[in-house]
Amino acid sequence: MLLEYQIAGYVFNASCFTTKQSTFLVSILFSMKKHLNIILALFFLTSCSEENAYYNLDDYAKVKKTDVHIHIMSDRPYFVEKAKADNFHLVNVALEINKGWDDVYIKYNYGKKQQAQNPETVDLVTSFAVSDFDDPAWEEKVISWLDSCFDEGAVGVKVWKNIGMVSRDTAGNLIAIDDVKFDPIIDHIQKRGKTLMGHLGEPKNCWLPLDEMTTNNDRSYFKKHPEYHMYQHPEMPSHEDIVASRDRMLEKHPDLRFLGAHMGSLEYSVDELAKRFEKYPNMAIGLAARMGQVYYQTVENREKVRDFFIKYQDRILYATDLADNDNMTKEELEANMEAAWKRDWEYFVTDNEMESDLINSSFQGIKLPKEVVDKIFYKNANTWFALNP
């Protein structure tokens, strides 16, 4: 009698059984064959479905991505070359810091040079200065400058935290983004179909003592820049005051396409962000330099954070604030870029247990579905900045 039987790919040895026992066993096995095949098929289908629904670490360089908040202040090609190698499109952002229009011109022109050499990889966000805010010709100057940038292909306009926290008018008053003098500028940006990117305010950590801050990068930044550490300047506006000024601006311009840089200065709470998303349908956020706060909230309540990213998947854009200021070697710059980009990729596409120097606790990745990752890393940039990379 045959002592071995192969059923559904499995070999069964019947040599230890009597003939009657073997016959009975084989009849059972053959009756199970159909069900076993179904079980195996379901197992493989489930595995394939899982593979098709999610990315993994190896997909990183294969998937198109956009970083909507970077600063290249250099003529060298290293940043763009690394972006190309890692399948990233870039939005280079100009801004005014403390040198008025010179800041704007210098930073914008660095971006123009990079775009001229790599038009398929680099898009530009321009800016304007408020150093001459009280000049009667200021409005006309700003609109003329923005039009020249838009005609060259700029996809948006950046306003920085000097508005609301640093820059003052000739009477000594802080200039706020809801000032009526901004209204015709903002209306013009909207009319031209461009996006306003606003770094208005700072993370809530800025109003806390260093040892109470939730992220290490905030602690390091404000230790180096005490002039921006609002905890040390109680005479300055509160975090709530600055956010309220931004919100009033949005209420005046409900059709404006607005990107809140650095998570709209509401990085500390996905609940607060959700309130703004519900109230302002034309508001989105970029994640630049605030992934530490995302990780921190993930430690506290991973499912809430994951649900937030899924629910508002059309309103969140990947961004880093990475920069090239000629202060690193080529190798250092590339390593810095890759570390940030791959760290965030791992967080969004896996459920790995992770660590980061941004916070002191370990955390678990949120493993978002492919379609959500595609929006955050690529499609939303095309929508909110009208890109066509």
Helix intervals (H) in 315-379: 330-349, 370-374
Residues 215 and 354 grouped into a single domain: yes
Question: In this structure, is the dihedral angle defined by the CA atoms of residues 57, 59, 62 and 65, taken in order, positive or negative?
Answer: negative
Boundary residue ending a domain (50, 67, 87) = 50
Give per-10-residue mean pLDDT for the chain (389 aa). Answer: 49 53 55 56 53 94 99 98 99 97 98 98 99 98 99 98 98 99 99 99 99 98 98 98 99 99 99 99 99 99 99 99 98 99 99 98 99 99 91
pLDDT at res. 225: 98
Residues 101 and 117 grouped into a single domain: yes
The reply to whether 258 falls in a domain is yes
pLDDT at res. 10: 47
- Kindly report the CATH number assigned to the domain that includes residue 65: 3.20.20.140
- What range does the domain containing 62 cover? 57-384
Residues 45 and 61 grouped into a single domain: no
> What DSSP character marks residue 232?
G
**Number of folded domains that form the chain:** 2
The reply to whether 123 falls in a domain is yes
Closest CA to 90 of 98, 78, 101, 106: 78
Cα 329–Cα 286–Cα 224 angle in degrees, nearest 5: 50
Closest CA to 318 of 381, 268, 257: 381
Tokens encoding 79: 């940043």
The reply to whether 282 falls in a domain is yes
- Residue pair 44/337 in contact (Cβ under 8 Å)? The answer is no
Q: Which amino acid is at 375?
A: K
pLDDT at res. 7: 47
The reply to whether 61 falls in a domain is yes
Report the 3 state secondary structure along 238-270: CHHHHHHHHHHHHHHCCCCEEEEHHHHCCCCCH
- From CA 59, how far away is CA 170, in angstroms rounded? 54
Residues 251 and 360 grouped into a single domain: yes
Bridge-based pairing of strands 323-324 and 65-72 is: parallel
Residues 109 and 10 grouped into a single domain: no
